[in-house]
Chain A
Amino acid sequence: MTHNVACASGVELLMDYLEGVLPADLKADVDEHVTACERCTAFIASYRETPRIVREATEFELPKELGDSLMAFLRAKRGPPRG
């Protein structure tokens, strides 16, 4: 079976394509389109970079004092040791 993959329909398949869950025939059609389409090649590059850019921009470190106060809070809530 052949599918008529345009940029728009290819984009809708992109996550499945990159995760390797597309049926083989559909994957081959997407491959064929992407190989010949510089716009899709550029779109996919930026689509793949987006999670990393967002991840690195939203790194939050647990402040040490918050870790300490969490443990103190949990100990207080739990009360004296069981058993």
Chain B
Amino acid sequence: MPKSGHPIRTLAVLAAVAAVFAAVAVGAGAAPAKHAGTTISGAGSTFVAPLVSQWISPLGAAYGYELQYSAVGSGAGITSITARTVDFGASDAPLTPDQFTACNGCEQIPWALGATAVLYNLPGVKNLLHIDGPTLAKIFMGQITTWNDPALAALNPGVSLPSTKISIAHRSDNSGTTFNFTDFLSSASPAWNTQIGRGVAVNWPVGSGGKGSSGVAAIVSQTPGAIGYADIAYALTNHLHYFAVKNKSGKYATPGLRGMLSAASSDVKPAADNSLSIVNPPAKFANAYPISTFTYVIVPLQSSKAPDLKKFLFWAVTKGQTYGPRLLFEPLPKGVLVVAEKAIAKIHS
């Protein structure tokens, strides 16, 4: 066999690339080298990332903490805190029992309140079209396929809707936003509830998947006729149109602060695992935006950094909340704040 030098050289190049990547990966995983102050590291939800990144400099000023947050997605955040490679994880969906067991002594604490927007791309059509849960479920089940479907037209009298085909975009990774969205569809549509259900990932009957909020936003913004979902901050920063969604009182609510606060006041008694469900609240919460959610920080009950972690979390659920409204995160309601503070107090070294 003719002896070949180049494949080996190629292999050497590949090996070098692999080595560089390994080095980067190790670097990313290991604790940072500089020790200006105490470092608090976290990973998880992209949803809450804009808020957390606002905290970095005031937190440094107040306590000298260096806050590092990787917006790798709720799923990856849970994996990281389970492996204890970070000090806290962040997830928009409450942990499942299996995840709690795996995390071995973790607790979840509600620490921010946000909303999921349903995005669409229809050139020439106004923002804030009307939609309700059952219609939305039919679209995502592939039963409504064009924008001028009678069901959509009936909800939007006076708006001329094009005959464009509806293209559906959803998350391909495990995501708390998906949980929030499918939680709403399950609550609003019995058909969705029996056939598909709620989860950080579901068995989508139609549509194409994008990785991360950015992946979904990319598909929606590039495709006329597309519909998708992402946190409201994403919709605003990417200048995407989003629906006003009908709540149980019959009102079409927008994913704004008022809508979130009204939804949040519907559940002030968290379950034993501190999770709160505020999706599609009862009619008496007249202004509620029905796809609102609390998002959670996940911390080990026993941590070598307990005093610093507690100080940081107390700050986050109190002072930290004031940075929320600008980014469309409604500050935690008082009842939830009490719950959060009680949970934080349980952390020990």
Partners in one complex: no
B residues apposed to A, CB below 8 Å: none
Q: Which residues of A contact B (CB under 8 A)?
A: none
